[in-house]
């Protein structure tokens, strides 16, 4: 009787030891996978953030399965959103090609926090946060934060991304597209009021300006804010200051003159490009 009890206890101890050993092995495997996945996310982020310099789309696509899907959500400082859904890597590849096609773009992309890495049986999810900054030679300058989620599967011993989602939220827009409205029925009028919507850090701001035109022997003298301009009948437009006259372009109409003054003089630090409403 005692021997049976001893054997039973020994069997229970052995079973517990085997379960403990198995659990330790699984825990060790998960820890190893988490380390691999953490290294992978930094490599992926580095390849993605370096796209404008390397122009190497394959350096990013190597982390994806061929049938991977992706979702991109972008919220700008005005609260408007843009959503793009891609059913294969072809769509995401086209998105990246637009990035590298932009000449003179610089892209700062820093992982600031690895929120979670969860590993299952051949599957895993990774969530991390990014601070980004985009600059272009023509002046577009945006800062913001991004939350990225990766769903991965282990295939032939390697982890590959099966689904990729990022939510991008603009935090500041220091320079970008400005919207211009002109309040006048006749572009030959001597006074034209404009409303220019410009990015101003965490919001957009409306600027109202009154352009006063005076014709002198076929030339135009234009006053707006505290600035004075002169457009010759032959075409050139000059800004007049105490230091003299500086040519800023050759507009072909009164409307073009106003647009050139807004973009190249009044709001050159805020407007990378103009859009007329």
Q: How do the pLDDT tens digits run along the chain, 277 residues long?
A: 444 433 443 334 334 333 334 444 344 557 789 999 999 999 999 999 899 889 999 999 999 998 899 999 988 877 778 888 988 888 888 888 888 887 777 888 999 999 999 999 899 999 999 999 888 766 667 888 999 999 999 998 999 999 999 999 888 777 778 899 988 755 566 889 999 998 877 678 889 999 999 988 889 999 999 899 999 988 899 999 887 888 988 998 888 999 999 988 898 878 878 888 7
| Start-end of H helices in the chain | 2-49, 51-54, 58-61, 89-101, 254-261
| Start-end of H helices in 115-238 | none
**Domains identified in the chain and CATH numbers:** 29-174 (3.10.450.50), 184-276 (no CATH)
pTM: 0.63
245-254 burial code (b ≥16 CB/10 A, e <16): eeebbebeeb
Structure tokens at 112: 């600031």
How far apart are alpha carbons 168 and 72 in whole angstroms?
Answer: 8
Contact 176, 140 (CB under 8 A): yes
């Amino acid at each position: 009787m005692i021997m049976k009890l001893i054997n039973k206890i020994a069997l229970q101890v052995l079973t517990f030891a085997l379960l403990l050993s198995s659990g330790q092995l699984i825990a060790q495997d998960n820890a190893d996978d988490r380390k691999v996945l953490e290294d992978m996310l930094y490599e992926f982020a580095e390849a993605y953030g370096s796209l404008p310099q390397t122009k190497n789309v394959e350096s990013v696509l190597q982390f994806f399965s061929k049938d991977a899907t992706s979702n991109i959500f972008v919220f700008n400082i005005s609260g408007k959103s843009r959503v793009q859904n891609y059913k294969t890597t072809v769509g995401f590849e086209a998105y990246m090609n637009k990035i590298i096609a932009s000449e003179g773009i610089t892209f700062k992309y820093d992982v600031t926090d690895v929120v979670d890495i969860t590993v299952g049986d051949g599957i895993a999810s990774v969530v991390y946060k990014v601070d980004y900054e985009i600059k272009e030679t023509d002046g577009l300058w945006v800062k913001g934060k991004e939350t990225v989620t990766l769903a991965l599967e282990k295939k032939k011993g390697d982890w590959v991304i099966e689904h990729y989602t990022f939510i991008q939220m603009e935090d500041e827009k220091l320079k970008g597209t400005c919207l211009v409205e002109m309040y006048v029925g006749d572009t030959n009028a001597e006074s034209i009021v404009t409303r220019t919507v410009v990015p101003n850090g965490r919001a957009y701001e409306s600027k109202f300006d009154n352009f006063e035109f005076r014709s002198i022997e076929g030339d135009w003298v234009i006053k707006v804010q505290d600035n004075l301009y002169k457009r010759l009948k032959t075409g050139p437009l000059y800004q007049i200051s105490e230091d003299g006259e500086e040519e800023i372009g050759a507009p072909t109409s009164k409307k073009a003159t106003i647009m050139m003054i807004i973009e190249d003089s009044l709001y050159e630090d805020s407007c990378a490009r103009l859009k007329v409403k």
